[in-house]
């Protein structure tokens, strides 16, 4: 079960604001990380984040259990569905 998230973004990212706003409506603990900051670069390397937006999901033990790069993928993970289903009716 998803307990928390980390959202990686950059100030110039055109798709990041909508993902940020969506995540704020999900009622879970989360952290927004600017991937251009020193801390953000280090965290992005640690989790192999290669693009923004990227949302990493963690369980109650703090273990990484999923990642998403857009709102559709986020919805699928939150609903416990496979990312293979994204985009299918």
Q: Quick one: 55 exposed, middle or buried, by C-beta within 10 A (0-12, 13-18, 19+)?
A: buried
State the pairing for strand pair 54-58/4-9: antiparallel
pTM for the model stands at: 0.88
Give the pLDDT confidence score for residue 87 in this predicted structure.
Answer: 45
pLDDT in tens, the chain (89 residues): 889 999 999 999 999 999 999 999 999 999 999 999 999 999 999 999 999 999 999 999 999 999 999 999 999 998 875 555 444 43
4-83: CATH number: 3.40.30.10
Cα–Cα nearest to 3, from 76, 75, 66, 85: 66
The three-class DSSP label of residue 53 is coil
């Amino acid at each position: 079960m998803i307990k928390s998230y980390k959202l990686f973004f950059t100030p110039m990212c055109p798709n990041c604001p909508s993902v940020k706003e969506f995540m704020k409506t999900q009622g879970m603990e989360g952290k927004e990380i600017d991937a251009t900051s020193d801390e953000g670069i280090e965290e992005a390397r640690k989790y192999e984040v290669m693009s923004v937006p990227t949302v990493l999901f963690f369980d109650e033990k703090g273990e990484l259990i999923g990642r998403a790069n857009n709102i559709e993928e986020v919805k699928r993970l939150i609903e416990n569905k496979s990312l293979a289903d994204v985009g299918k009716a």
